[in-house]
Structure 1
Amino acid sequence: MEMRKEKSRDAARSRRGKENQEFYELAKMLPLPPAITTQLDKASIIRLTISYLKLREFTRSGDPSWSSSNSYHKNIKGSVAATQGLQSLCTSRPGKRFTRLIAQAE
């Protein structure tokens, strides 16, 4: 019985280690400095990844598109990158930081 518990604990520890490694790899792919990505918890990594993917989708569907090959993307600095309804995504420098702002409904 004790042997099964030990094997189960080892298997769970191994799964958690693999999960943590995948979260670490995902965090490294975010357009943030390593000093920040190494300090993020799992929920923050998921939240920032979702925001980043939404921002990428929005910039591709703009008119004109803000794709990376487009000069518009290269010239955007410190401005509101996207506004949709009551939500805004703001960037401080291209790819360095973005913050999600939620306006209160009146």
Structure 2
Amino acid sequence: MTHTVNDRAEALRDLLERQFQEHTDQLTELTVHSRQPDRDGYDPDTLRRLMDAARQGVADTAQALRRMSEGSYGSCEGCGGDIPLARLEVLPWAQYCVPCQQRR
């Protein structure tokens, strides 16, 4: 079976939507823990770091979904070139091609 670029783009959109939901659910759960007197056993620093990571995940996936809807998904924000599909399959929220990411 041959996968078209559109099939892969749709698969990436599905993956990003699932990741967005997972990060949102995780942030909600962690927020509930943070409001408990004992933070449900979480160390305050660990809880803060987990919440920061979940927030970043929400932001990264939301930005990638926005770029998809605008038609700029897959274009490097540094050089304007294409981000290789293999990179997007590993990091679907990637904003930069590898050379531009390394320069950052």
Higher helix share: 2
The structure richer in strand per residue is 1
Q: Which has the higher contact order (CA 8 A, sep 6+)?
A: 2
TM-score normalised over the length of structure 2 = 0.34
Bigger-Rg structure (1/2)? 1
